[in-house]
A and B are shown apart, each in its own frame.
Chain A
């Protein structure tokens, strides 16, 4: 029996790695997640005959727990809108962290001097700390992105308090790990309360724009916590899957932070948008306005159009109309491409998902490195619902807070049309110099309405 269990866990570990590998290409990504799912089912089923699982009541609780947790997650996962995906991932991730912390709590409760080693205790404690932080931190991230918690919460000496709590938590953890199994329940309780509190306090001051990076970080932390629990429970499948995710998540976090030009330490230890940055340059030129009808005709007679979508487009639910507009242009022989900034949407890759939902095929969607040279040859670049990611000051003004951030060179197209809800600066509060450029025209209005007008204007041409 033990051979079957071990083989099943081995198979699951292989399937997870193969699955993640296949997710690295759009053509094999879907089979990838399905293989990983198969691995999960095998590992879960075989655990029912695991020698350490015993007791009729416990079996009932396990089945009931899977039914409740799985059922609720299935329902919420099917229902969630694509725009709300980041916070949903945060929520599911937090649940995993909480589960890892729960395993740690049981292990520490059951620990007696005869059954445990200091190494085992140290690993269990570390895993519990990381899991608890990922749990409460992810829940705060969820609440913020879901709009349940609008304000960033800061107070004087906050960082000092955070550090103090962290230090006390680590000391308590050290006591648990070196206690040789003689664990006071008060110490244990305080350890978990402070771990959870630290996760909350650490996440509270972080602004919504930085949240994707933080979610990715917690994803990596949960992976690490799960991996550590794998060592404690002597389960290689948990260990390998957890560590693979921990490493992958760490890299993904770095990639996201790099794309946003925000060093991870700045995200975690300072507040975003607190200072307005350096002095504003004098802006030359004026903003010119264009009507949707003229903009539509201009693009209909262009040879090459590059569309730069931002999160504003998704908020206005304009992606379906934009895709309809794109198809109309394509029928007229216009070469249409989508240019995606790494942080378009709310996390890297989110905009691709939103466009995919509207039906835009991924082979006309290009990322920054692939398309930036092409703006020079484009007749029209249409920026819709994006702002900071096309702001040329990131290239030109070293005093600007976004200086050095990679941007899409939409300003190099022959004509630029910026679709915008109203006048005023973007998310970061920085004036966009593109709006004042000679080759730029502003198209004011709600994204969806503008897109519908664009469609109508091209249809009217026959």
Chain B
């Protein structure tokens, strides 16, 4: 491991505080997109599954790795698509007024 024991612990601690701080200021109206967005972010597990499958040697390892890559890709892509779809819909009334004028 490059990240030796205590360094890993420090990263762990700082990342945990970062996550806590970021969320604590989010308004309730964005909680669902945010849950979906954070769901997307842990889709980074795709990178891990690629590495795991990349150095798989036996058929069993390859099979597990292959399924893991499918699942991880589903997490990442699905998480992105639904989050983006939800956030796309949030508009202010200003934009709506403009639309009304054109119509």
List residues of chain A with CB under 8 Å of any chain B CB: 9, 12, 16-17, 19-21, 23-27, 29-30, 32-34, 36-37, 40, 43-44, 47-48, 50, 52-55, 57-59, 61-62, 64-74, 76-78, 80, 82, 85-86, 88-89, 91-93, 95-96, 98-103, 105-107, 109-110, 119-120, 215-216, 219, 222-223, 226-227, 229-231, 233-252, 255-256, 259, 340, 342, 345, 347-350, 352-353, 356-357, 359, 361-365, 367-368
Which of B2, B18, B28, B48 is A349 in contact with, Cβ under 8 Å?
A: B28
Bound state CA distance, A390 and B46, in angstroms? 44
List residues of chain B with CB under 8 Å of any chain A CB: 1-3, 5, 8, 11-12, 15-20, 22-58, 60-62, 64-96
- DSSP class of B's interface residues: helix, strand, loop or mixed? helix
Question: Which residues on the A side are within 8 Å of B57 (C-beta)?
Answer: 110
Which of B5, B41, B49, B93 is A16 in contact with, Cβ under 8 Å?
A: B41
Which of B2, B39, B52, B53 is A92 in contact with, Cβ under 8 Å?
A: B39
Nearest-CB residue, chain B, relative to A30: B87
Bound state CA distance, A17 and B82, in angstroms? 19
In the complex, number of A-B residue pairs with CB atoms less than 8 Å apart:
403
Nearest-neighbour CB distance to chain A for B22, whole angstroms, equals 5
Question: Which residues on the A side are within 8 Å of B31 (C-beta)?
Answer: 252, 255-256, 347-349
Bound state CA distance, A225 and B24, in angstroms? 22
Residue contact A23 to B51, C-beta cutoff 8 Å: no
Nearest-neighbour CB distance to chain A for B82, whole angstroms, equals 5
Residue contact B85 to A78, C-beta cutoff 8 Å: yes
Given A120-B1, A349-B30, A362-B29, decide whether A248 and B20 contact each other with a Cβ distance below 8 A. yes
Bound state CA distance, A266 and B76, in angstroms? 32
Which of A54, A100, A353, A362 is B32 in contact with, Cβ under 8 Å?
A: A353
Residue contact A96 to B72, C-beta cutoff 8 Å: yes
Bound state CA distance, A238 and B11, in angstroms? 11
Residue contact B18 to A247, C-beta cutoff 8 Å: yes
Residue contact A347 to B35, C-beta cutoff 8 Å: yes
Question: Which residues on the A side are within 8 Å of B70 (C-beta)?
Answer: 65, 68-69
- List 30 A-B residue pairs with CB atoms under 8 Å apart, sorted by A's residue number: A16-B41, A19-B37, A24-B23, A40-B46, A50-B50, A55-B55, A57-B62, A58-B56, A59-B54, A65-B69, A69-B74, A89-B39, A92-B78, A96-B43, A99-B48, A102-B68, A105-B64, A106-B61, A110-B55, A119-B5, A240-B15, A248-B19, A248-B22, A249-B35, A345-B32, A349-B33, A361-B96, A367-B27, A367-B29, A368-B28
